[in-house]
Amino acid sequence: MFMRITRDVGEKGQVVIPKDIRELLRIDKRKKVVFEINNDEVTLKSDEEPEKFLQELFDSPKLKKRLTSKQIKNVILEQYNEELH
């Protein structure tokens, strides 16, 4: 899906997230959002639930056996670095 919406930046540098986008990303009041910056592009994402992140981590094809905490940390860092690129 491609959606493009233009909004004005207010005096305090604030931008209102349009209702359609809030509903699509399930962003409610007091929920956190994530801004990812890649060169000259900014991506807005709903902050993931920790349980969802852990489930995706443990469902990873890289995970074939029980890992040490150091190995888990390395998998997390790899996944984080992949998302940044």
Count of domains for the chain: 2
Q: Give residue 32's pLDDT.
A: 84
* Residue 58 token pair: 């443990």
- Assess whether 63 and 84 both reside in one domain: yes
Domain extent, residue 63, equals 48-85
Assess whether 32 and 63 both reside in one domain. no
If asked whether residues 8 and 20 sit together in one domain, one would say yes
Do 40 and 74 lie in one domain? The reply is no
List average pLDDT for each run of 10 residues in the chain, which is 85 residues long.
86 92 84 87 79 67 68 77 64
State the pLDDT at residue 70: 80
Please give the helix or strand (H or E) that residue 38 lies within, else none. strand 33-38
Name the residue among 18, 45, 23, 48 with its Cα closest to residue 34: 45
* pLDDT number for residue 60: 67
60: left (phi over 0), alpha (psi -120 to 50) or beta: beta
Do residues 36 and 84 touch, judged by C-beta distance below 8 A? yes
Predicted local confidence at residue 64, as pLDDT: 64
What predicted TM-score, i.e. pTM, was given to this entire model? Answer: 0.48
- pLDDT given at position 53: 63
Work out the angle at residue 26's Cα, subtended by the Cα atoms of residues 20 and 31, and round it to the nearest 5 degrees: 115
